[in-house]
Amino acid sequence: MSVPRRSPWRRGAAGGLVAVLVAGLTAITGSGAAAAEVLLSQGKPATASSTEAPGAYLAGEAVDGNTGTRWSSTFADPQWLQVDLGSSQTISRVELNWETAAAKAYQIQVSDNASSWTTVYSTTTSAGGNQSLAVTGAGRYVRMYGTQRTTTYGYSLWEFKVFGESGGPTIPGGGSLGANVVVFDPSMSSATIQARADEIFRQQESAQFGTGRYVLAFKPGTYNNLNIQVGFYTSVVGLGQNPQDVRINGDITVDAGWFQGNATQNFWRSTENLSVYPVNGANRWAVSQAAPFRRMDVHGDLNLAPNGYGWASGGYIADSRISGAEGQYSQQQWFTRNSQIASNTNAVWNQMFVGVQGAPSGAGYPNPPYTTIAATPVIREKPYLYQTGGDYAVFVPGMRTNSTGVSWANGNTPGAGIPIGQFYVAKPGDTAARINQALAQGLNLIFQPGIYQIDQTINVTRANTVVLGLGYATIIPVNGVTPMQVADVDGVKIAGILFDAGTTNSANLLVMGPNGSSANHSANPSTVQDVFFRIGGYIAGKATNSLLVNSNNVIVDHIWAWRADHGNPGTYGWDVATGDSGLIVNGQDVIGYGLFVEHYQKYEVIWNGNGGRTYFLQNEMPYDPPTQAAWRTGANGYAAYKVADSVSTHEAWGMGSYCYFNVNPSIHADRGFEVPVKSGVKLHNLLTVSLGGNGVIDHVVNTTGGPAQGTATVPSYVVDFP
């Protein structure tokens, strides 16, 4: 068949405001539990009198929650380490985890101004080790003031922890997941379920920039004669521990009738953790970006194209089993990871398989344009909501290395459940201060479906914290704050959130680890999964960068960072919705699976850390540079993917960059990819495309590869570089 290319535009009528229905909806509830004592210091700003070496053993490494990093002073007396709690707090306990170089004589002191100090504990006979000190006092600043050492070396602390009251009442965990989590039970009639699902779909079908957010959740059991159509900002999930626990005899459908058969704007929707038995043998999931298909068991074919095989620009599958064919058809690109398929049908420009049983061989690239990696080097699947023992919990899958196929092939996915009582369930209208208080108490975090205006940074400082958004929960920063930052700690999981830039510029929308992060997290990396970023479209957003990764070993598993090329009137344009980059990686040994980054105004992905690996990139350059000089002076534009000249080791596979300069079709980009020419920097299976000949990408990588140009929309490929 002749496969049409992607539509070179994605303009569409913006959805109006969607009324949020409250009556008749079922809410999930759970019992509450609260921590008795609050860790106040972790991840907070820390300073010290000195450090043992320039740029090493920094003060912040004693409050990062990582016992593999430490602060160490010069070899002299006296020395001090202090932490700023941000506001005056009542202090009840201090923990010190000393390295061999400890203090024999020291004081614990508190202050409200960091100049006048009150001593709340003092000793001259300390032997070091692990110490837990009961204290009574209050202050914004807490410090260890050492006057005599146990060795000839300095003072050295693995961890300095301050505990106390949170400055307000204890926030309970658990509670309702909100009226827009709509729960279905097998005892309900098919007609009742279908009617409610249809009602939500009518609201959400074309509400591309609307305010509705929904989860359709199916309790374990069998459901018959259903066709659940999935619109914008709608997630369809099973509440079993494994996909087979919820059986849908019917379909879970995404098509493109609302957009005249063009699926290139079928964004922001998902399905997860269900088994589907399609009525006619094939389930249709015709989506583009930000529409994950996870933990699904399809008994038949999966058709990824809209009815009529119109344009489509997807997409992402993980941890799923398809007993029939994965039908790509008109999908210009697709990424499939850790899945099992019987076969694959068709390819357009950039189809990639990582750890997929039944994947095509990948031989002969680019004809056909398959990139196949036999095993996934390291991954932890996304946390998900499920039902257990009559209540609800979040299951956190375990780490897998060199893995293939689904995580649930041999029974339950390995991992552990966290009761909902150990989560703070945030609801629209909650303040960042309240969310931070809950996190400081040791609670994990769930966001109900909805939109959140955040006026201060949400600080995730505790190792292994889970932050899970439901139904495309959307966080909008106010007054230019960075809406969320994660400390340099092990095993944080951020999943299922849409960050939507506010009208005042933010430096970043999500930060993984502070600047200078140095801890090794290889045994328990943090993950960013199904996290999406938007600049413009809904409002005239501004953010210099979307995702900043400073921590080492982070796994970025499916993001879409998007600067809008269309949307509500007045919300997009070269000087209206502004953003330099979608992803900046400073950490070492960071892995990206399924990166979608589009339309930013400078380098869209910047990789500064060594040891990075990217498995699949889909990129479109900005549509709207008004002139060559407006985009960049001294060179023709910016590459989509920039590996810094200082990097010595980096590898990437399955990378595509496209141009469609619709404001000024005479625009050129010098190259799609820009990397240092070093033996440790390797790129495989690259392509560039000019959509309809609107502009030119002169080279694929550096000065290698012919130009992408002309109305035939034929890719320019490079198989290996260098």
Residues that are catalytic? 620
Nearest 5°: the CA angle 308, 16, 500 is 90
Q: Which two tokens stand for residue 360?
A: 């095509």
Return the closest-CA partner of residue 75 out of 97, 60, 57. 57
Amino acid at the residue 350: N
Amino acid at the residue 73: S
Helix (H, G, I), strand (E, B) or coil at 72: strand
Instruction: Decide: 556 and 519 in contact? Cβ < 8 Å.
Output: no
Query: CA 133, 134, 135, 139 torsion: positive or negative?
Result: positive
Q: What pairing do the DSSP bridges indicate for beta strands 527-535 and 555-563?
A: parallel
Q: For residue 463, give the DSSP letter.
A: T
Alpha-carbon radius of gyration of the chain: 26
To the nearest 10°, report the CA torsion of 392, 195, 22, 502: 80
Amino acid at the residue 81: L
Amino acid at the residue 276: V
Amino acid at the residue 575: D
Q: What pairing do the DSSP bridges indicate for beta strands 46-48 and 79-98?
A: antiparallel
Say how far apart CA 512 and CA 557 lie, in whole Å.
14
Nearest 5°: the CA angle 437, 560, 637 is 120
Instruction: Decide: 657 and 672 in contact? Cβ < 8 Å.
Output: yes
Task: Name the one residue in this structure whose structure tokens are 């070496």.
Answer: 53
385: CB partners within 8 A, 6+ apart: 28, 217, 237, 239, 392, 393, 394, 395, 468, 470
Say how far apart CA 331 and CA 310 lie, in whole Å.
9
Burial of 10 (0-12, 13-18, 19+ CB in 10 A): buried
Annotate 511-548 with b (16+ C-beta within 10 A) or e (fewer): bbbbeebbbbbeeebbbbbbbbbbbbbbbbbbbbbbbb
For the beta carbon of residue 402, count every other beta carbon within 10 angstroms: 11
Return the closest-CA partner of residue 110 out of 139, 149, 147. 139
